[in-house]
Amino acid sequence: MRFFFLLIFLFGSLNCTSQTQTELNTNAVETTPDKILIVYLTRTKNTKAVAEMIEAKVGGTLLSLELETPYPEDYEAIVAQVAEENETGTLPPLKTEVDLSQYETIFVGFPTWGMQLPPPVKTFLNENDLSGKTVIPFNTNAGYGVGSSFETVNKLCPESNILEGYATRGGIERDGVLFVMEGEKEMEVSKEVNDWLNSLGF
């Protein structure tokens, strides 16, 4: 009788193990590095640093979004310009161009500006058809979070498979705190990014 129950226990354990492996495989992002694009907008280089951490883990092509007419260097001036663009719905023209046909997975990185998705990223998502592609947002912010930015990515990519995003605290340009992704902070964020990507199946 003990042997009978042991067999049932072993069979049940194997069954559970098999199911877990199947679930993990289902969640995995099945793609190759040449099918991955990591596009990002950066000002203080913190978002760029996170983009490079992603590239180190999954491979892919890094692409920085650049404007035809760059934003002013002065912090107050850029805040005023972005506020006006958000209010009027202005989409600043991009100098950056890319053929997305070869990519299946698009990481989209950006800082939080005015608790919203930055206008240049809105331009990119409006001008490029990401239908049927996997879109993965990532963000750096001054400590106030992503605001409505992830929600806006969802709205602008209605036909995309959007996965869970990642956000971390970066610099605080208003206070003169610019690039912070170095030393212990870099190691901390790198571990978080690695764990996040693992959770997505990379």
Q: Are 50 and 193 in contact (CB under 8 A)?
A: yes
| Ordered per-residue pLDDT tens for the chain, 202 residues | 444 343 333 334 333 333 322 233 345 788 899 999 999 999 999 999 999 999 999 999 999 999 999 999 999 999 999 999 999 999 999 999 999 999 999 999 999 999 999 999 999 999 999 999 999 999 999 999 999 999 999 999 999 999 999 999 999 999 999 999 999 999 999 999 999 999 999 9
Rounded distance between C-alpha atoms, residue 191 and residue 125, angstroms: 28
58 part of a folded domain: yes
Phi, psi of 61 (to 5 degrees): -110, 130
- pLDDT tens string 137-175: 999 999 999 999 999 999 999 999 999 999 999 999 999
80 part of a folded domain: yes
- pLDDT tens string 170-181: 999 999 999 999
171 part of a folded domain: yes
Can you give the residue range of the structural domain that contains 90? 33-200
68 part of a folded domain: yes
Rounded distance between C-alpha atoms, residue 48 and residue 140, angstroms: 10
155 part of a folded domain: yes
- Collapse the DSSP code of 29 into the 3-class scheme (helix H, G, I; strand E, B; otherwise coil) and give the result: coil
141 part of a folded domain: yes
Name the burial class of residue 189, with classes exposed (0-12), middle (13-18) and buried (19+) by CB atoms within 10 angstroms of its CB. Answer: buried
Q: Say how many domains are in the chain.
A: 1
23 part of a folded domain: no
Name the burial class of residue 86, with classes exposed (0-12), middle (13-18) and buried (19+) by CB atoms within 10 angstroms of its CB. Answer: middle
146 part of a folded domain: yes
The pTM of the full predicted model, rounded to 2 decimals, is: 0.86
